[in-house]
Amino acid sequence: MVEIIWHQRLETDEFRIGSNKVLEIVQQQGSAHLLIDARKLGPFKAEDQGWLKEVIFPQITKLSLIKIARVIGSDLFTQIILSNLMHHVHSQLQVELEMETFYSREEALEWLFED
């Protein structure tokens, strides 16, 4: 499992560098599970949402990942953005990858390793 904890809100360039590093680590380790703690990251900017859809998500589909758990805060705006991004992944990229959103790390870990 790879676990990523975002410790603060980032500018676009920092977010993109970090996201690319996450992909690199997952690829190097051949991990099937990814836990992303984004409670302190805040909502994505519109330009970052587009970049995730166009650049990151297509790359994720080529990795060995089976499940991605994302831990977020209770901010409604972030929840809506994330729901939109996940809908894109499943409808446009048509992947079998399971992705869920949680409000606690413990719930996310439990889901990642069930079965």
Quote the pLDDT of residue 115: 72
- Give residue limits of the domains in the chain: 2-112
pLDDT higher than 90, residue 46 = no
* Digit-coded pLDDT (tens) for 28-38: 999 999 999 99
* Digit-coded pLDDT (tens) for 53-100: 889 888 988 888 999 999 988 777 666 776 776 766 667 656 678 889
- Tokens representing residue 18 in the block: 């970090």
- The helix/strand/coil state of 99 is strand
- Measured in whole angstroms, how far is the alpha carbon of residue 54 from the centre of its chain? 14
